[in-house]
Amino acid sequence: MRNVALAVLAYLALWSSLAAADTEWKSLKVGGAIKDDHMLTKPRLAIILMTKNDMQMLPHWLAYHGHTFGFKNLFIVDGSTNCQSSYLRNAANAYHFHVHTTRANLTHLEALLGRMIEEKIKPRFDWVIKMDTDEFLEALTLNFSLPRHGAYNNCYGVRIDSALLPDVVADDASPLSATTAGTMPSGYMESYKFIWFTQSFKAALFNLGGHVAAQAACGVSEGSTIFHYHLRSHAGRKNAALQACIGYGYVDTEDSEEGMVQKLRALEDKYCSCRKPYTVPCTIGSCHKVWELLDYLTTKTATTALFSPKPTANVSIAAFHDPLHAISSQYPSLHNSACWRSIMKLV
């Protein structure tokens, strides 16, 4: 567990050296044997964000990652059906990040992202990571050298710490302000995410979640963490599960709740048992979202239990929280939009 005070001091030092629109990663000093002892002192990191109808977190995500890693290094893949799409286009015009709008089914999106990395990112960047709107990459120090072992050579796994957000903040103007530190059950492909060395990237090994199954599969990126605001609110979690199930075509927006339950139970019977999330292998994408949505629509007992207080506090979440807000506050225009205000119920 990192010392909170040292982490905060490190972030204060980090802020002073960041350039909001820089195209390189100046603040992070990296030196590792990449190939033939070539030293990569300024790694070019591309960050892919996959997002859909998630304005609660999006302004914070854009401000933090744009400020820390450079807006021009952000590639946003947006599948929104609400005003978020126009919000992103306007923000991209102002801050010069990349936006790709798609209505592709999630089953096909995996191949699309793989091609994006191969065609657009590989020629220009050294490393790439795929993230979601509720994931924030902290990188105080990174020492990258290509691992020589594992099924997925030339990648790193970044640890994920999960934050718990109480249900009361669902409609809060600052949805991250009431963060409660805690732990989240971790299982298959949930504890680490890929950072790929682009020159050896293989689209066939890419998965939509960007997860790596175990520490042994990649080297572990020391000095970096992904903070996952995993449990935001009951409404937020239900919406995330619903969007995923719609994206895969498991349910339709026109379905009644009874119709959704019928379809989800049919999926369980045919493909897997989704009633034990994070532990039971499944042959369909985002099996845990099927389980969550089905529980929300029926008993609500299992999903409610996820919000119970956890016995172990993760103090690194607290160390990250204040710097996140300090950075986000420097970009008020990202929050001052009709779309964000309407979704956060401020108008």
DSSP for 175-222? TTTT-EE------TTTSEEEEEEGGG--GGG--TT-EES-GGGSEEEE
Predicted confidence (pLDDT) at residue 110 exceeds the cutoff of 70: yes
pLDDT for 270-280, tens place per residue?
Answer: 776 555 544 45
What is the chain's mean pLDDT, rounded?
A: 66
Residue 147 and residue 112: Cα distance in Å, rounded?
27
Contacts 24+ apart (CB under 8 A), 32-37: 32/143, 32/144, 32/145, 32/146, 33/145, 33/146, 34/126, 34/144, 34/145, 34/146, 34/197, 35/146, 35/199
At 306 the three-state DSSP class reads coil
Predicted confidence (pLDDT) at residue 126 exceeds the cutoff of 90: no
Angle (deg, nearest 10), helices 257-271 and 287-297? 140
- The answer to whether 66 and 76 are in contact (CB under 8 A) is no
Predicted confidence (pLDDT) at residue 155 exceeds the cutoff of 50: yes
Residue 143: other Cβ atoms inside 10 A: 14
Residue 99 and residue 88: Cα distance in Å, rounded?
7
Alpha helix (H) ranges present in 272-309?
Answer: 287-297, 301-305
User: Residue 27: what pLDDT?
Assistant: 30
Phi, psi of 312 (to 5 degrees): -110, 120
Residue 321 and residue 72: Cα distance in Å, rounded?
24
Taking residues 82-105, report their average pLDDT: 91
Architecture of domain 4-232+314-343: Alpha-Beta Complex (3.90)
User: Residue 29: what pLDDT?
Assistant: 28
Taking residues 255-259, report their average pLDDT: 92
Q: What is the pTM of this model?
A: 0.65
User: Residue 311: what pLDDT?
Assistant: 34
Confidence of residue 94 (pLDDT cuts 50, 70, 90): very high
pLDDT for 195-216, tens place per residue?
Answer: 777 877 777 667 776 665 444 4
Looking at mean pLDDT, say which of 92-101, 120-129, 272-281, 317-326 comes out highest. 92-101
Residue 39 and residue 55: Cα distance in Å, rounded?
39
- The answer to whether 197 and 122 are in contact (CB under 8 A) is no
Phi, psi of 214 (to 5 degrees): -155, 160
pLDDT for 270-328, tens place per residue?
Answer: 776 555 544 455 667 777 788 788 888 887 666 665 554 443 334 445 556 677 788 88
Tokens 């793989």 -> residue: 114
Torsion over CA: 21, 22, 26, 32 (sign): positive
Percent of the chain with pLDDT over 70: 52
E-state strands within 2-124: 45-51, 74-78, 98-101
Taking residues 235-255, report their average pLDDT: 82
User: Residue 191: what pLDDT?
Assistant: 59
For the chain, domain boundaries: 4-232+314-343, 234-305
Predicted confidence (pLDDT) at residue 244 exceeds the cutoff of 60: yes
Higher pLDDT, 142 or 66: 66
- The answer to whether 25 and 74 are in contact (CB under 8 A) is no
- Buried b / exposed e across 150-187, counting CB within 10 Å, b at 16+? bebbbbbbbbbbbbbbeeebbebeebbeebbbbebeee
Confidence of residue 134 (pLDDT cuts 50, 70, 90): confident
pLDDT for 215-227, tens place per residue?
Answer: 445 555 555 677 7
